[in-house]
């Protein structure tokens, strides 16, 4: 993302204004004076008790009930210049959907959100709202406490699923064109949905046996229940999207071969699936996992239900997770649930620099996760069977800010110490998956192995081939991947209708 102050495009401004000027909106604004609205406290998200939830994989957040949601919606001022929208990467008309909740027109609110966000049930659960819409909410500027936009988004999508109001839009008139979408993560699923609505034939090719990308193999059940994803994928199939699982593009068939099979355009959304390691001694000992492997075993392969499911996972007694992002939080909370005590985060900077979502850090703390900050491992020690038994760490202190603006950790000389561990999860980031680039020589690749695109169109160096999500951005977010998928779909539509972009 750029550091530029987000601005609202003129076209979007007009759309927002049209909603703002509706009579019912004017009346609603008047019905409760601002002063009254400001007296309403931010509605708390009901959560399962920490000591109960840290032993199972049930969802942590329960969701707001209708009355709490309406009260929360009343907190929103319905601003003429809503800051929130500028913070949303897919420009949801936030005041409109919130005011429809206040008006108790829940079906209307669903429709409003879905104009620009096809997967609100997922975004409402995993978006980092505190640095996006909620960070720019005018109420936050005034009082420090923004409207709980994320919780409202989740509320409305839960209503959508429970009431079965899911309206299946008419697919566009068939164009006779075929698009291959490679990768069934949020980027690919979004692109597929948008393309099929425009009347194109869409086939998604996915390497794994369940669609969803990181949403199914990475993010755990307790944060994003699999049933939600399943509902979304069912919906795409209802719209006519064909799903080809267990198909590795580049291996089962290359992009060029698919072209010969009659696909007219491509969207590549293969994600950042290559796990990074630190390259320190002992990293290949048994019991040292990449976060991808650890989470894949537990989530995708359901090792938490071993031996009812066949895939095992090492259930550490003393677990250390290296890193401070969402992936690290998900891993450590998983280890805790599988019985590790202590389950600890080892992070080389301080709490302030941790890139994980605020809610994840808070939940982890409540669940009894230990945090060893300003600490980094330098090697792992094994026993006679090649299993990890301890790790040696180094204390750090914060020095000058680095290129990312965060203060750079520097080692404290002589601060080495050894601590016993029998499970280590390395969660220090992922790189773009190299398979597509290796097997499609015409694709231009950037410094970090990411596919290079024209950001205005998401077009790659090959005509008719578009890309988005983590494969172009490196590890980013669900909503940015979805935004890319949507933009690319528009451009692919344009390409298919005009023969060029």
Partner 1 sequence: MAKILRRERLVPNIHLLEVHAPEVARKSRPGQFVIVMPDERGERIPLTIADWDAKRGTVTSVFMLVGTSTQKLSLLQSGDEIPVYVGPLGRPSEIRNFGTVVCAGGCFGIAAIYPIARALKQAGNRVLTLIDVKASYLFYWEDKLKETSDAVFVSARDKRYNSKEYVPYKLDTLLKDEKTVDRVVAIGCTYLMYACAEATRAAGVKTMVSLNPIMVDGTGMCGACRVTVDGKTKFACVDGPDFDGHAVDWQELFSRRKSYFDDEVKSLCAWERERFS
Residues that bind partner 1 (CB under 8 A): 207-209, 246-248, 251-253, 273-275, 277, 279, 283-287, 289-290, 292-293, 296-297, 301-302, 306-312, 314, 385-387, 433-435
90/214 with CB nearer partner 1: 214
Which partner from the list ligand FAD, partner 1, ligand SF4, none does 306 bind, CB cut-off 5 to 8 Å by kind? partner 1
Counting Cα atoms < 13 Å in the Cβ hemisphere of 91 gives: 14
> Shortest CA distance to 185 belongs to which of 116, 236, 129?
236
Query: How far apart are alpha carbons 285 and 385 in whole angstroms?
Result: 9
> Shortest CA distance to 487 belongs to which of 467, 453, 457, 464?
457
Q: Which stretch binds ligand FAD (CB under 6 A): 17-25, 139-147, 326-334, 444-452?
A: 326-334
Q: Which one of residues 16, 70, 84, 327 is an interface residue with ligand SF4 (CB under 6 A)?
A: 84
Q: How far is the CB of 232 from ligand FAD (least distance, A)?
A: 13
For the window 97-126, what string marks contact with ligand FAD as x by the rule CB under 6 A? Answer: -----------------------------x
By CB under 6 A, tell whether 64 contacts ligand SF4: no
Q: Which one of residues 16, 149, 340, 436 is an interface residue with ligand FAD (CB under 6 A)?
A: 436
> Shortest CA distance to 108 belongs to which of 28, 225, 42?
28
By CB under 6 A, tell whether 70 contacts ligand SF4: no
Query: How far apart are alpha carbons 360 and 14 in whole angstroms?
Result: 36
By CB under 6 A, tell whether 207 contacts ligand FAD: yes
Where are any strands of DSSP class E within 23-70?
none
CB 347 within 8 A of CB 323: yes
CB 453 within 8 A of CB 466: yes
Which partner from the list ligand FAD, ligand SF4, partner 1, none does 286 bind, CB cut-off 5 to 8 Å by kind? partner 1
User: Which 3 state secondary structure label does DSSP give 435?
Assistant: helix
By CB under 6 A, tell whether 179 contacts ligand SF4: no
By CB under 6 A, tell whether 306 contacts ligand SF4: no
Burial tier of 32 (Cβ tally within 10 Å: 0-12, 13-18, 19+)? middle
- Contacts of ligand FAD in 211-250 (CB under 6 A): 213-214, 218-219, 248-250
Q: How far is the CB of 23 from ligand SF4 (least distance, A)?
A: 18
Burial tier of 461 (Cβ tally within 10 Å: 0-12, 13-18, 19+)? middle
Q: How far is the CB of 84 from ligand SF4 (least distance, A)?
A: 3
Q: Which stretch binds ligand SF4 (CB under 6 A): 61-69, 74-82, 102-110, 382-390?
A: 74-82
147/156 with CB nearer ligand SF4: 147
Which partner from the list ligand SF4, partner 1, ligand FAD, none does 391 bind, CB cut-off 5 to 8 Å by kind? none
61/292 with CB nearer partner 1: 292
Kindly report whether the peptide bond that precedes residue 222 is cis, defined as omega within 30 degrees of 0.
no
Phi, psi of 219 (to 5 degrees): -75, 125
Cβ within 8 Å of residue 421, ≥6 positions away: 287, 316, 318, 319, 320, 380, 388, 389, 390, 391
Q: Which one of residues 83, 120, 185, 323 is an interface residue with ligand FAD (CB under 6 A)?
A: 185
- Contacts of ligand FAD in 269-288 (CB under 6 A): 269-271, 273
Query: How far apart are alpha carbons 448 and 427 in whole angstroms?
Result: 18
320/489 with CB nearer partner 1: 320
Q: Which one of residues 16, 101, 147, 148 is an interface residue with ligand SF4 (CB under 6 A)?
A: 147
Which partner from the list ligand FAD, partner 1, ligand SF4, none does 175 bind, CB cut-off 5 to 8 Å by kind? none
Locate tokens 């990181």: which residue? 214
> Shortest CA distance to 390 belongs to which of 403, 381, 399?
381
Which partner from the list partner 1, ligand SF4, ligand FAD, none does 167 bind, CB cut-off 5 to 8 Å by kind? none
Q: What is the DSSP letter of 61?
A: B
DSSP string, 273-314: -EE-----TTTTSBTEEEHHHHHIIIIIS-GGGTTTSS----
> Shortest CA distance to 43 belongs to which of 65, 11, 17?
65
Query: How far apart are alpha carbons 140 and 76 in whole angstroms?
Result: 11
CB 194 within 8 A of CB 114: no
Q: How far is the CB of 152 from ligand SF4 (least distance, A)?
A: 9
Token pair for 468:
């988005």
| Binding positions for ligand SF4, rule: CB under 6 A | 76-79, 82-84, 94-95, 98, 137-139, 147, 149
The contact set with ligand FAD (CB under 6 A) reads 126-128, 182-188, 205-208, 213-214, 218-219, 248-250, 269-271, 273, 295, 326-327, 330, 357, 433, 435-436, 469-471, 475-479, 481
């Amino acid at each position: 993302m750029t550091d530029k102050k987000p601005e609202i495009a003129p076209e979007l401004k007009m759309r927002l204004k049209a909603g703002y000027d509706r009579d019912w909106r004017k009346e609603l604004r008047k019905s409760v004076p601002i002063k009254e609205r400001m007296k309403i406290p931010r509605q708390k998200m009901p959560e399962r008790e920490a000591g109960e939830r840290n032993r199972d994989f049930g969802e942590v957040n329960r969701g707001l009930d209708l009355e709490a949601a309406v009260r929360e919606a009343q907190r929103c001022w319905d601003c003429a210049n809503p800051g929130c929208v500028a913070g949303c990467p897919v420009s949801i008309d936030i005041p409109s959907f919130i005011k429809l909740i206040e008006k108790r027109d829940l079906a209307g609110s669903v429709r409003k959100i879905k104009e620009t966000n096809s997967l609100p049930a997922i975004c409402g659960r995993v978006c980092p709202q505190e640095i996006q819409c909620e960070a720019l909410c005018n109420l936050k500027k005034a009082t420090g406490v923004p409207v709980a936009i994320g919780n409202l988004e989740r509320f409305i999508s839960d209503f959508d699923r429970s009431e079965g109001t899911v309206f299946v839009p008419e697919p566009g008139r068939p164009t006779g064109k075929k698009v291959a979408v490679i990768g069934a993560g949020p980027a690919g699923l979004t692109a597929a949905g948008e393309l099929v609505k425009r009347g194109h034939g869409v086939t998604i090719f996915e390497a794994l046996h369940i669609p969803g990308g990181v949403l199914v193999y990475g993010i755990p059940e307790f944060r994003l229940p699999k049933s939600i994803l399943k509902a979304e994928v069912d919906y795409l199939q209802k719209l006519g999207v064909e799903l080809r699982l267990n198909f590795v593009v580049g291996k089962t068939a290359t992009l060029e071969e698919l072209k010969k099979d009659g696909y007219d355009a491509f969207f590549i959304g293969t994600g950042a699936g290559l796990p990074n390691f630190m390259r320190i001694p002992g990293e290949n000992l048994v019991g040292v996992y990449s976060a991808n492997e650890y989470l894949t075993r537990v989530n995708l392969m359901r090792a938490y239900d071993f031996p009812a499911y066949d895939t095992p996972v090492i259930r550490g007694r003393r677990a250390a997770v290296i890193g401070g992002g969402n992936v690290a939080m998900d891993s450590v909370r998983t280890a805790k649930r599988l019985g590790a005590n202590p389950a600890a985060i080892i992070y080389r900077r301080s709490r302030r620099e941790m890139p994980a979502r605020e809610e994840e850090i808070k939940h982890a703390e409540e669940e009894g996760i230990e945090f060893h900050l300003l600490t980094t491992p330098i090697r792992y020690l094994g026993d006679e069977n090649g299993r990890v038994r301890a790790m040696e760490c180094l204390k750090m202190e914060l020095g000058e800010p680095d290129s990312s603006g965060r203060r750079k950790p520097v080692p404290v000389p002589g601060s080495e110490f050894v601590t016993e561990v029998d499970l280590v999860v390395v969660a220090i980031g992922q790189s773009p998956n190299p398979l597509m680039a290796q097997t499609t020589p015409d694709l231009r690749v950037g410094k970090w192995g990411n596919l290079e695109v024209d950001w205005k169109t998401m077009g790659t160096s090959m005509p008719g081939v578009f890309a988005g999500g983590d494969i172009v951005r490196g590890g980013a977010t669900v909503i940015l991947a979805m935004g890319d998928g949507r933009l690319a779909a528009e451009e692919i539509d344009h390409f298919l209708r005009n023969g060029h972009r």
